[in-house]
Amino acid sequence: MTQSTNPLTPLSMPSPPSLSATETTVNDLGELRRELDAVDTDLVTTLARRMQLIRRTAELKSMTTHQVRDSLREEEMLARLGRQAESVGLPPYFVTSIFREILDYSVRCQGDHLVGEIATEPSTAGLTVGYQGVEGAYSLNAGKKHFQESRRATEFRGFFSFRDLLEAVDQGRIDRAVLPIENTTAGSINEAYDLLATLPLSVVGEEILLIDHCLIVLDETVQLEEIRTVTSHPQALAQCTNFLGSTEGLVVEPGPDTAMAVERLISEGDRTLAAIASREAADRHGGHVLRRELANQKNNYTRFLIISKTPVRVDPRVPAKTSVLFQVAHQPGALLRCLAALDGHGINLTKLESRPVLDAPWTYRFYADLDANLESLEVQKALSEMTQSTVNLRVLGCYPKRPRP
């Protein structure tokens, strides 16, 4: 007997394929990342729009007597943004920290607009900027940071030594030089001070760069235990003595430049050799970053000077520094009288460095940074008084002051 089929029983149909939990998560994550990319694009576009408004503001301020920085407005703005952040569930500190960076950069751009060379030179004139080293050098990074808002087409050119670099400025082969002058870990760079004293050049700017020293090896298979020799610029090595001293039997070899040390590493193909340099140097020359933040202290900054053949004028509304060189007379209290002249006119001394005068044993030249504009009447009076106690006094330049980190 044939079994009958119940017409009320539905026929068995194949179920549609279902996504696993992993596949669903991957799809959701991909969609979220696309949304994040779109938000990031909007943020960049909005920042670009804000910078357009800042440039227009700078142009208007150049025709008025308005100060570059309005501290009261900034604090009111940050307070308002903090309240707004809290109202939408964001930590106020997070939002205000971001906007402090934006405000600092905006003020910097407005100040640069009022500096003589930037405000008056045509944008069609190219600018050649020199630095010591090769691609990936910290000096190049500082130069790119300093000239990022320049309205002139900027070309960067590397030189083997500080002397080669500054002589190129002196001979008119390049327009500017980026010269490291001091570091928060290793101190002053003496060679730079000595060259400034002997060449007829001017300081027209400064830049401050956070230095993240990396241990760079041949490739990702190299282990720390394999390294026998570390090479870099002497200043970089001096900033990483704690790390270098912690590895027994490690040979340290000074070289002409941090990025050149990476070039040597790659060209020699030596697994036992490592270089201390920037992450950019590793990216540029093909090395692998084995460790980061090698400096003795985390807040490791280098201050760079921007050098030119001719000085620039800094608008009195722009926070400025004035750098001078002087040699005191062989008289009791001569240096004290120079410092008293600055103090008497309310001028803050932010740097005082002594260097021996070549071919004149036991004679010293002083380098000083004044926290003031050269055009200030008080600065003029103080420098005039200092000439009475000095053998010679030379103004190296007046330039916009970069805020300390």
Residues with active-site annotation:
302, 304
- How far is residue 5's CA from residue 9's CA, in Å, rounded to a whole number? 8
Q: Give the C-alpha separation, 306 to 146, whole Å.
A: 9
Kindly state the tokens that stand for 342.
Answer: 């600055």
φ, ψ dihedrals at 210, nearest 5°: -75, 125
63 by DSSP, 3-state: which? coil
Scanning 160-233, the segments in alpha helix (DSSP H) are 162-170, 190-198
For 50: left if phi > 0, alpha if psi spans -120 to 50, otherwise beta; the answer is alpha
Q: Which long-range contacts (CB under 8 A, 24 or more apart) does 242-247 make?
A: 242/296, 243/215, 243/291, 243/294, 243/296
Sheet architecture: strand order including 349-356: 349-356, 364-370, 320-328, 390-400
Distance CA 71, CA 77 (A): 10
Work out the widest C-alpha separation in the chain, in whole angstroms. Answer: 133
Q: Residue 190 is encoded by which pair of tokens?
A: 């003496």
